[in-house]
Amino acid sequence: MKKQLSLFLVLVLCLGLMVGCTNGGKEVDKVEETSKVNNEENANKPKAGGTFATSISKDPQTYNPCAQADDAAYKVIQNVFNKLVKINGDDKIVPDIAKKWKYSDDGKTLTFHLQENVKWHDGEDFSSQDVKWTFDTILKEKGFASASLSDIEEITCPDENTVIFKLKSPNAGLLGHIAWFGTYIMPKHIYEGTDWLENPANQNPIGTGPFKFVEHKKGESIVIEKNDNYWGDKPYLDKVVYSIIPDENTAFQAFLNGELDDTGSIPPSEANRFDNDPDYVVREKLWPNKLYINFNLRKGNFADKKVREAVAYGIDRDEIFTKALKGIGEKSEYFISPIYDWAINKDVKLPKRDVEKAKKLLEEAGYTADENGMYFSTTMDLFPGFDDVAEVIKANFKDIGIDMDINVMDDPAYDEKVWFGHNYEITMIGGYQGPDISAVASRIASDGPMNIGGYNNPKVDELLKDGLALTTEEERAPIYKEIQEILSEDLPMVYYAEKGAKIPVKVHVKGHPATDAKEKASEGEFTYIWLDK
Amino acid sequence: MKKYIWKKIFTGILTIIFSFCFTFFLIRCAPGNPIKILAGTDNPNPELIEHLTIKYGLDKPVSVQFINYLKNILKGDFGYSYISNESVTKLIKERIFPTILLTLTSSILSLVLGTFFGVYAARKVGTCMDKFMCGLSYIIDATPGFWLGMILILIFSSTFNILPTSGMYDIREDYKGAYHVLDVIKHMILPCITLCIIQIPLYFRIARSSVLHIISEDFVLTFRATGMKEDRIFNKYVLRNAIIPTITMFSLSLAFTISGVALIEIVFAWPGMGRLIMDAIKNRDYPLLTGIYLMISISICIVMIITDIVYALIDPRIRYE
């Protein structure tokens, strides 16, 4: 009897709690609604001040923004320096320190009109001479972007706020290269006459950007502060601190427990956890960046087109996308990034999986299966980061009778063997192919720096050149459609996915470059961020 | 005794020279090229690569590079990092303090605690407590340090929110004076605990087994036969004899203090030498790596010489051998 009574009491208690909870929930909802209204009212009145803490996975090595590619420094550089034009969060080219620009009708002259009254962080005046000096030096000292800027013949400065680029041949892709990387305007008055690799300003950069560089404590943090004399929209934050956290999981925990406001380190396995979390706004982003299996076309098993075709039929892109990539990004369907929707050739699609067809192709290529049903064995050479995808592909390959080993090396070893040594059969790569469609050339042109497989088709080279000379999408689309057709026949690579990300932004962070400020700011630019707390 | 010390110093110098030559060539044997890493792989520029290769003298054969390096070292110039263009001595100097702070603190703590537990277990040998402690020591020994660190972060930082996840300072605040010291201590607790947990079993087992070994010796039996009190035998005779292996162990860990603990430093984002080494390896930053290795081998030799001298002082038999 006593037991029954206590059971009854417990039940009553539970019910009471539930009722209480639901009531409470409603009230909370109401409060949220009112606060939302308040937020919307306040949205136009950002709060100034505060420190924004984010993370970076390794120490930047040099802040010379044009000499070398330093991914870690890039995060800081884009807040300290300006480019002529920049790429915004939607992968469009938008004004930076050049407010207007124009190609001449023959496509051989590119004129930039610069912002006026711009000052360097040390108080000196900025002028068109700085722009001329920067690009001249990139070309002369073989800076990172020099190869892609090689069509520049001469740069002139008719006045303080105008720069004219004269080109050797029409090049519609040049603006994209100027907007991309390694093209930040550097202070002529500091660098002129010095070795730009050893100038002390490389450790203490002077730029024109929204934030001033304060200090870099090696292995600990980097601090930048608001530039009160910024020529453009002034930043709201007082300072930004980049905490250097090498381990992705640690950075992620620090992000979750509030030590960081933002992080670039979200482990792939955790990418979907913020989907229904009211404390985060999730931006789904897709880059013009295709991930693909790359073959060595010079020698080995995959030099035979039939074998490459068998791979195209043999891999299961659905399985790679859902299992290895956790459904982030997009499954590849066509031979060009879906970002360039105006240029997609819908007639040439990547084939659907067909194991029997793949086996037949291997037999046609002259292979015979051994007692285990394997036609041949191979090794996929990789650098770290493709582990899950490689496992799925290994299993797919086994189905069609290719026995594949996975060999993961650290970056320098990989570069020596595969990237520069071309001593491999099959590998996987990806990478940015924008902001202009012509950037695909670096992977498929016979002299493209990222064409590691040695693909060489004179027709493709010719078409790529034609694509550069034209400017409108209507004129260019047929050219790139034809290229896709040729790619589908030659199969120098097999695409499997479009790189994407889910970027969680905490609700108290407004004006984040991935969400509110994606049209105005570049990917890691914090000018528009303000903290609502 | 003088002769003994000179002999030790001479072998020390030989060791340093040998290990320096060995590492110099070994690093350069690893596949990969620092200049190509510098130029980046996304859009490498062959002209930049050529330019930098000549600038850093990497176009010359390794033997010539070795002689050039030796010449500079004799002038006290350890060169400049390829990657950051900063002097190697400056880069190393920045990391020494945090490294020593963390590794030394945890080494001393684990020495004291491990030895204490070891001696305790040896005195209670065969009891439940002894069995439990031994079992636990094997379990902890099999636990990877970085995993343990991650779990401690999950418990103390993410769940209970009482300790910071990473770093050495609070990045939002700029503390001065005593608050600064407190801030560093707060940030040091988790990495220090992790290191202690990993190292304690080592000292525990050494102390326990060497105490057990000494207790079973004949002279202890003789003391017991004379009726001497058990505590006196233990404190005065057993403990002193049993401590020598522990000193060896501790001096070994002291010698490696300066090289840091890479995996733990990475998990806790501690700005130590281990991370510097890992980054230098990843970038094939030859001058930085050679400089660090040289410094580590010098510090190991110095500690070893000191240890040998301490031995000779404790145990006169050693110096006459």
Task: State whether B41 and B177 are in the same domain.
Answer: no
Tens digit of pLDDT for each residue in A181-219? Answer: 899 999 999 999 998 888 999 999 999 999 999 999 988
Window 262-301 of B: residues touching A by CB (8 A cutoff) are: 266-272, 275-276, 279, 282-284
Q: Does B142 touch chain A (CB under 8 A)?
A: no
Q: What is the pLDDT of residues A137-147, one digit of tens each?
A: 999 888 888 88
Residue A65 has pLDDT above 90, yes or no: yes
**Confidence band for A37, pLDDT divided at 50, 70 and 90:** very low
Q: Same structural domain for residues B162 and B311?
A: yes
Alpha helices in A257-333 (DSSP H): 305-314, 317-319
Verify whether the Cβ–Cβ distance B85 to A202 is below 8 Å: yes
Cα distance from B84 to chain A (closest Cα, Å)? 4
For residue A64, pLDDT over 50 is answered with yes
Q: What's the structural domain count of chain B?
A: 2
Q: What pLDDT does A42 receive?
A: 52
- pLDDT for A332 equals 94
Q: Which of A530, A527, A533, A531 is nearest to A226 (CA)?
A: A527
Say if B38 is an interface residue toward chain A (CB within 8 Å): yes
Which whole number is the average pLDDT over A444-460?
A: 91
- The pLDDT tens digits of the residues spanning A276-322 come to 999 999 999 999 999 999 999 999 999 999 999 999 999 999 999 99
B209 and B132 both lie in a single domain:
yes
Cβ-defined contact of A253 to B276 (cutoff 8 Å): no
Question: How high is the pLDDT of residue A43?
Answer: 54
CB contact under 8 A, A146 and B45: yes
pLDDT digits (tens, 9 = 90+) for A503-525: 999 999 999 999 999 999 998 99
Which residue from A minimizes the CA distance to B265?
A: A246
Q: How far is A489 from B249, CA to CA, in rounded Å?
A: 66
Positive or negative: CA dihedral B309, B313, B318, B321: positive
Local structure of A495: helix, strand or coil: strand
A317: its two tokens: 């892109």
ipTM of this complex prediction, to 2 decimal places: 0.86
As a whole number of angstroms, the distance between CA A113 and CA A136 comes to 18
| Whether residue B241 is found in the same domain as residue B283 | yes
**Which one of B36, B91, B166, B263 would you mutate to disrupt binding with A, by most A Cβ within 10 Å of its Cβ?**
B166
* Amino acid symbol at A203: Q
pLDDT value at residue B41: 62
Interface of B with A in 165-204 (CB under 8 A): 165-169, 171-172
d(CA B93, CA B88): 9
Contacts of A412 in chain B (CB under 8 A): 30-34, 36-37, 282-284
Interchain pair A411, B86: CB under 8 A: no
Residue of chain B whose Cα is closest to the Cα of A430: B42
Residues B290, B113: Cα–Cα separation, whole Å: 36
- Dihedral angle over CA of A152, A156, A162, A167, nearest 10: -20
Select from B74, B103, B137 the last residue of a domain: B74
What residues contact residue A9 under an 8 Å CB cut-off, 6+ apart?
A: none
Q: What is the CATH number of the domain that holds B107?
A: 1.10.3720.10
Q: In terms of C-beta density within 10 A (0-12 exposed, 13-18 middle, 19 or more buried), how is residue A368 classed?
A: exposed
Q: What is the mean pLDDT of each run of 10 residues along chain B (321 residues)?
A: 86 91 88 77 69 83 88 86 85 91 94 94 92 94 92 94 91 87 94 94 94 91 90 86 86 84 92 91 89 90 87 72 53
Instruction: Please give the residue of chain B at the shortest CA–CA distance from A196.
Output: B85
Percent of chain A with pLDDT over 90: 70
Does residue B11 sit within a domain?
yes
Q: Write the pLDDT tens digit of every residue in A332-382.
A: 999 999 999 999 999 999 999 999 999 999 999 999 999 999 999 999 999
B286-314 and B273-282 helices, crossing angle to 10°: 140
**Cβ of residue B95 closer than 8 Å to a chain A Cβ:** yes
Examine the domain organization and report whether B241 and B108 are in the same domain: yes
Q: What is the pLDDT of residue B42?
A: 59
In a domain, B79, yes or no: no
Strand positions, DSSP E, A383-514 = 402-408, 426-429, 493-506, 509-510
> Which of A74, A139, A183, A250 to probe by mutation at the B interface, max B CB count within 10 Å?
A250
Q: Which residues pair with A531 in a beta bridge?
A: A509
Q: Tell me, yes or no, whether B126 and B262 share the same domain.
A: yes
Closest partner CB to B282 (pick from A62, A68, A411): A411
| Chain A residues with CB-CB distance to B147 below 8 A | none
Question: Is the confidence at residue A415, as pLDDT, over 80?
Answer: yes
Q: Are both B153 and B285 inside the same structural domain?
A: yes
Tell me the average pLDDT across A114-126.
95
Q: Is B289 contained in some domain?
A: yes
Contact yes or no for B42 and A431 at CB 8 A: yes
Measured between CA atoms, the residue of chain B closest to residue A141 is B48
Q: Is B190 within 8 Å of B153 (Cβ atoms)?
A: yes
- Exposure of A239 in the CB half-sphere (CA atoms within 13 A): 15
Q: Does residue B295 lie within any of the structural domains?
A: yes
Question: Distance between CA B51 and CA A68 in Å, rounded?
Answer: 12
At A107 the pLDDT is 84
**Chain B residues inside the 8 Å CB shell of A198:** 85
Looking at the partner chain, which of A68, A247, A412 has a beta carbon nearest the beta carbon of B33? A412
Chain A residues close to B188, C-beta within 8 Å: none
A277 phi and psi angles, rounded to 5 deg: -90, 120
Res. A420 pLDDT band, cuts 50 70 90: confident
What's the whole-number mean pLDDT along residues A101-118? 92
Which of chain A's residues have a Cβ under 8 Å away from the Cβ of B45?
Answer: 142-144, 146-147, 449
Q: Which residues of B touch A220 (CB under 8 A)?
A: 167-169, 171, 271
Q: Is residue B50 part of a domain?
A: yes
For B276, which residue in chain A has the nearest alpha carbon?
A219
pLDDT for res A150? 87
User: Is B85 inside a domain boundary?
Assistant: no
| Shortest alpha-carbon distance between residue B257 and chain A (Å) | 18
The domain boundary residue, chosen from B43, B74, B105: B74
In a shared domain, residues B150 and B281 = yes
Continuous segment of H or E residues that includes residue B313: helix B286-314
- B17 and B101: one domain? no
Q: Is B177 left (phi over 0), alpha (psi -120 to 50) or beta?
A: left
| Co-location of B47 and B108 in the same domain | no
pLDDT score of A35 more than 60: no
**Residues 6+ positions from A249 with CB-CB distance below 8 Å:** A267, B150, B267
Domain boundary among B74, B103, B134: B74
Q: Which two tokens stand for residue A311?
A: 């791979």
Q: What are the tens digits of pLDDT across the range A454-469?
A: 999 999 999 999 998 8
Q: Tell me which residue range forms the domain holding B36.
A: 2-74
Chain A and chain B share a number of CB contacts under 8 A equal to: 163
pLDDT(A14) > 50:
no
User: Which candidate from A246, A419, A420 shows the least CB-CB separation from B275?
Assistant: A246
Which one, of A440, A468, A443, A444, lies nearest residue A173 by Cα? A468
Please confirm whether the linkage preceding A435 is cis (ω < 30° from 0).
yes
Please indicate, yes or no, if residue B130 is contained in any of the structural domains.
yes
Answer whether residue A34 shows pLDDT above 50. no
The pTM assigned to this predicted structure is 0.85
- Give B97's contacts in chain A (Cβ within 8 Å): none
Residue B38 sits in the same domain as residue B163: no
Q: State whether residue B249 sits within 8 Å of chain A by CB.
A: no
Strands (E), A417-480: 426-429
The answer to whether residue B144 neighbours chain A at the CB level (below 8 Å) is no
pLDDT (0 to 100) of residue A7: 47
Q: Same domain, yes or no, for B228 and B291? A: yes
CB neighbours of residue A343 within 10 Å: 21
- Mean pLDDT confidence for A258-272: 88
pLDDT confidence of A12, banded at 50, 70, 90?
very low
Provide, as residue numbers in chain A, all residues whose Cβ is less than 8 Å from the Cβ of B99: none
How confident is the model at residue A27, as a pLDDT? 39
Q: Is residue B81 part of a domain?
A: no
